[in-house]
Structure 1
Amino acid sequence: MVSVPLAFTAWSQTLASEQSDVAIRSRWSSLPGGSTAMNDKSYMGTGSPSSDRFAFFSEGSYDEGAFKLAYDNKQTHTLGEFLTIAEPVSNTASEYTGHVFVVTGEKDIIFCGGNCLQKPVKASGNNLLDDTKTFYPKAASFSTHVPAGAGHALFAHYGTDQTISQILDWAKKTVV
């Protein structure tokens, strides 16, 4: 994976217990295990609606109702989960011999800095997702799909039905 320098001026993370949206904080604490999430300082959550739009959605590529549904139902994540998406924590799956299909939106800020169509740095291919190949050197097959216009919240954008069809078609062809 390539490291992309970013300045997140509109995106924020906060401890789950310090979530500024009272309705979200109340919902999180009522979930199974919610008391743990609210008391354990390793549980995080995104901040405001504007920070969620910036990090997870691509302007002009989603319906406002989809955003509201996603925001009203968002979950917490652990600090460890957040930190393991970057190098050097991610290790090569050197013994994995199955098939790999990597899918994320063209405008994914978190994984691609907002441009997943940029050329790969470590592997041959057509987009930044192809760099993932280096993590699966013995994979039976490797392919990628970059849905046009979508952000990190892949299934909350227009074209979700086509993206799901691509994934199911891949599964039908590769899974025995």
Structure 2
Amino acid sequence: MGVGTTFLRLASLTALAQGLQLDTTFVLSQATRGLSAAGKATCLRGKIKVSAAANNTILLIKSPAGQPDLTQTTVDMAMAGVNYATMVTGGPTQVSGTYQLYVELCVPADPAAALKVKTLQFLNHGGTLDHTYWDFAPGYSYVDAAAAAGHATFNYDRLGYGRSDHPDPNQVVQAALHREIAHQMIGVLRKATVWGKRIKSVVGVGHSAGSALVMAIVGKYPADFDALILTGISASIEGIAIAQIAFNLIPAALDPSGRFNGLDTGYLTQGAVAQDFQFPFYRFPDFDPKIFRKQFETRQITTFGELLTFGSVIAPQPAYTGPVDVVLGQQDYIFCQANCSYPMNQAEIFVNALFPGQGSKSTFLQPNSGHLIAQHYTAGRGFAHSLQFLKRNGL
């Protein structure tokens, strides 16, 4: 249902989301209230403006002139003996601006559960996805699962995605600026209250590129998160180049759906062929065809700015000492070439290599699941594992 006023301060919207209150740093526009996919959470939705500055990387590339140009670039990125990212990387460059982002704040719909909320989960979607990944459909909603466990969630479209702003896809939409934008929002969330009680803990949750972003955040701001849940990511990179080719990337503006008309040709999406989507993301027959079709038809974008800078932020994080959970689909092709147990558990390899000084570690290989673990029949098992991990760590 709509909210009558166009611009409302978050502090004045307490009643709309079961007592959720933030400070007045952000102004929420186009505010609405609604329920999560299965009604377990009450959600406040709208847009906020965030000012941020970052040291991005000069990329010595231009947006593709057309499909042949983009296809050749995809081949170049997979060329043997060549590190394409290094080849097209210039020096650092300062970027800054004020950007409008679509956000969702959700708390348990049960008032009794909302009164007890102490943990908020900060959710970060993957590439060619958007905020809907976390609240996709009944039975496929991490937002619902978190609310049922008594947690609040903050879900948003990353810059360049979905309902958020779409600035220069090559020089602006990069990992460094994503990190600074997220850090600004986390600072506000740490001051949030639910029914007058301060949020005690913020958990960084990511999927795929979203997990890389969470790692980028704790690499510079280790105090931002009290625990991490990293899904759809590993230290194995052999499958990434093949998966990128399988994406059959096209300039999003050329997508026949017309959803991306007017975007710079540096915004990319998967080709309009279902196989291009199934190969890297799903394991047949372990998903509902209706869920697959819905995600395929609502697929989002990616950019060379992201593809060429996210890899640089995946590095050991010795400064972070909070609990870490890593979840992979057992048959994730992108990060395991469809076998996350070979030659050893890839989730365990990743968490031990990237978080060497951390004591409380947990991993889970979600059975019968490809890369999009939240959209397979076994999604609930992955959700339950991560929420139990938080419970064991007092969150």
Q: Name the TM tier (shorter chain).
A: 0.7 to 0.9
Higher relative contact order (CA 8 A, sep 6+): 1
Give deviations 1:138-175, integer Å, cap 9, x for gaps: 22312211111100111111111222111111111124
Give deviations 1:32-87, integer Å, cap 9, x for gaps: xxx5xx2151x22112211101110001110100101111222112223334565x
Alignment partners' CA distance in 2, 1:165 and 1:155? 12
- Residue 268 of structure 2: SS of its match in structure 1? strand
The residue aligned with 2:250 is 14
CA contact (8 A) 2:330 2:369 kept: yes
- Residue 143 of structure 1: SS of its match in structure 2? strand
The residue aligned with 1:142 is 361
For the pair 1:59 / 2:295, whether they are aligned, the reply is: no
RMSD after superposition: 2.2
The residue aligned with 1:45 is 269
Higher helix share: 1
How does the TM-score come out when normalised to structure 1?
Answer: 0.78
Equivalent runs, 1:153-168 vs 2, <5 Å:
153-168=372-387
- Residue 146 of structure 1: SS of its match in structure 2? strand
Alignment partners' CA distance in 1, 2:326 and 2:337? 16
Alignment partners' CA distance in 1, 2:276 and 2:285? 16
Higher strand share: 2
Match of 1:106 among 330, 342, 353: 330
The residue aligned with 1:76 is 301
The residue aligned with 1:128 is 346
Distance 1:75-1:10 versus aligned 2 partners, 3 A rule: closer
Alignment partners' CA distance in 2, 1:101 and 1:135? 12
CA contact (8 A) 1:14 1:45 kept: yes
The residue aligned with 2:371 is 152
Report sequence identity in percent: 25
Distance 1:98-1:85 versus aligned 2 partners, 3 A rule: same
Distance 1:2-1:85 versus aligned 2 partners, 3 A rule: farther
After superposing the two structures, state which structure 1 stretch, 153-162 or 75-84, moved more: 75-84
How does the TM-score come out when normalised to structure 2?
Answer: 0.37
AA in 2 matched with 1:100:
V
The residue aligned with 1:4 is 238
After superposing the two structures, state which structure 1 stretch, 1-10 or 55-64, moved more: 1-10
Distance 1:10-1:90 versus aligned 2 partners, 3 A rule: closer
- Residue 165 of structure 1: SS of its match in structure 2? helix
- Residue 28 of structure 1: SS of its match in structure 2? coil
Alignment partners' CA distance in 2, 1:100 and 1:141? 7
Q: How many residues align?
A: 157
Per-residue deviation, 1:100: 0.8
Structure 1: give runs of 5+ residues left out of the alignment. Answer: 30-34, 121-126
Distance 1:85-1:102 versus aligned 2 partners, 3 A rule: farther
Alignment partners' CA distance in 1, 2:252 and 2:394? 39
Distance 1:105-1:85 versus aligned 2 partners, 3 A rule: farther
Distance 1:67-1:13 versus aligned 2 partners, 3 A rule: same
Alignment partners' CA distance in 2, 1:84 and 1:2? 17
Structure 2: give runs of 5+ residues left out of the alignment. Answer: 1-234
For the pair 1:172 / 2:172, whether they are aligned, the reply is: no
Distance 1:160-1:91 versus aligned 2 partners, 3 A rule: same
Match of 1:92 among 295, 316, 341: 316
Distance 1:113-1:102 versus aligned 2 partners, 3 A rule: same
Give deviations 1:76-131, integer Å, cap 9, x for gaps: 12223334565x652211201111111120111111111111134xxxxxx11222
AA in 1 matched with 2:295:
A
AA in 2 matched with 1:129:
A
